Structure 1
Amino acid sequence: MAEDVQINWGKVKNIFESVTERMGQNPDRPAIGAPKAKVRVIKERLFEAKAEGHTFQIDEPVERGGNGLAPSPMAYFTAGAAACLTSHITQSAGFLETHYTSLEVEATVLWDNRRKFSIADLAQASLGIIYNIHMESDEPEDKLIALLKHAEDGCYASDVVRNETPLRAHLIVNGDEMYVHKNGAEIPDVPAGPTFGDNPTGMSKDEIAAKKRDGG
């Protein structure tokens, strides 16, 4: 386990409560979050990704046809799921005032490759996600269990995989949309302009820049 973490629990709680209050002022308004990433091919299984102002590489290991220069797509997916739950545990810990001194979340995603290669007729390839949540805390057992349930229930990554999440893929060839592949229910279009859920606190650009300069 890592050393004790540095968390301003009052700050975490205040953000959670301010977001709840802001959304509660107009409960019928969808609070849509819409994170976006763009990925382009560099060479075979080596890709460049851009998301939220960051640029990073994605690759497959040598044994899967890549060069092992970066984590694989599913490694990022798994890390994202673990990070999402870690984030929600931290938010819930602040909101519920059930604190920890150290936290590390390990995620494992399981799937059966036979479906992809048409070896077996399986309804789906994914078998599930397993989380191991290593925490150090002096809080009572019932509060820690309630913390986990509250966090997992609100975790967006968990929500994606435990429900039938619809999919829409737009095939754009030479600049023109050729085909739209749909699987599942209709997906609402992304709202024009900044989405409410991506800035739930309503911070201005200047406030965001100032917090970045000051380290949060």
Structure 2
Amino acid sequence: MSLIDTTLRERLDRRIEGLRDAREIKPGHPSVETETLSNYHARAHADGFTFDADEPVSKVGGTGTAPRPLRYFLAGFAFCLQAQYVRNAIRMGIELDELAVDVESEIDRRGGLGFRDEPADFESIAYTTTLRTDAPDSDVRELVETAESCCYVHGTLSQAVDLDGTTVVNGTPLDR
């Protein structure tokens, strides 16, 4: 059973055409408001939702009441990429029975501790996109290329860090 409602294609096409025909496409302004509740425990407000971040008890001041902040960063990347897969699968009429993005990263912890001269950053970010579909490999390759090129976070990260992506379709890595 497909996770993607391909019957939305007509509505999506109308929306895209409306934007394409617009005199001006105004920039988007995604935003989040945050506040510190106590020590590492923070709260964010976005789009009418509230969510917390914290550090584990093993960090002095952490209470372990919510995911760590970097987990939200990595999840944001995965969620953004997944949204582009969905949007473009609808556009292309591709049914997906499974769509998952797993993200792993490496950081030099010395940066976050102030033990090196360079700013703290990610050394690398690797992700695996898992798809299950009956679509031909050529269509899947086009979907992968389009989803990655339309994802704001992928575009930003690919210019800033060693970003290594793998796509697995029906259990087999996709050659790109």
Range class of TM-score, shorter chain: 0.7 to 0.9
Corresponding residue for residue 104 of structure 2: 108
Residue 7 of structure 1, CA deviation: 3.0
Offset at 1:6? 4.0
1:147 aligns with 2:143: yes
Question: In 2, distance between residues paired with 1:122 and 1:53?
Answer: 37
Look up the SS of the partner of 1:40 in the other structure: strand
Structural mapping, 1:1-216, within 5 Å: 4-11=1-8, 13-26=9-22, 29-65=24-60, 66-122=62-118, 125-163=121-159
Structure 2: runs of 5 or more not aligned: 161-176
Distance in 1 between residues matched to 2:41 and 2:120, nearest whole Å = 26
Distance in 2, matches of 1:18 and 1:128, equals: 39
Contact 2:3 2:95 in 1 (8 A): no
Alpha-carbon deviations, 1:29-78, whole Å to 9, x = none? 24311121111111100011111011121111122331110111111111
Distance 1:127 1:99 in 2: 35
**Shift of residue 19, structure 1, vs aligned partner:** 2.7
TM-score normalised over the length of structure 1 = 0.66
**2:14 and 2:26 mapped to 1: Cα distance?**
14
Please state whether the residue corresponding to 1:33 is helix, strand or coil.
coil
Count of residues in Structure 1 that have an aligned counterpart in Structure 2:
159
Say whether the 8 Å CA contact 2:44–2:52 is kept in structure 1. yes
Letter in 1 for 2:35: R
Provide the C-alpha distance between the structure 1 equivalents of 2:105 and 2:15, rounded to a whole number of angstroms.
31
Deviation (angstroms), 1:15: 4.0
* RMSD value, Cα: 2.0
> What do the CA deviations read for 1:147-197 (whole angstroms, capped 9, x no partner)?
111000000111232236xxxxxxxxxxxxxxxxxxxxxxxxxxxxxxxxx
The offset of 1:132, in angstroms, is: 1.0
Deviates further, 85-94 or 107-116: 107-116
- Partners of 2:71 and 2:131 in 1: how far apart? 22
TM-score by length of 2: 0.80
Q: Structure 2 CA distance, aligned partners of 1:55 and 1:157?
A: 22
- Give me the whole-angstrom Cα distance separating, in 1, the residues matched to 2:102 and 2:121: 21
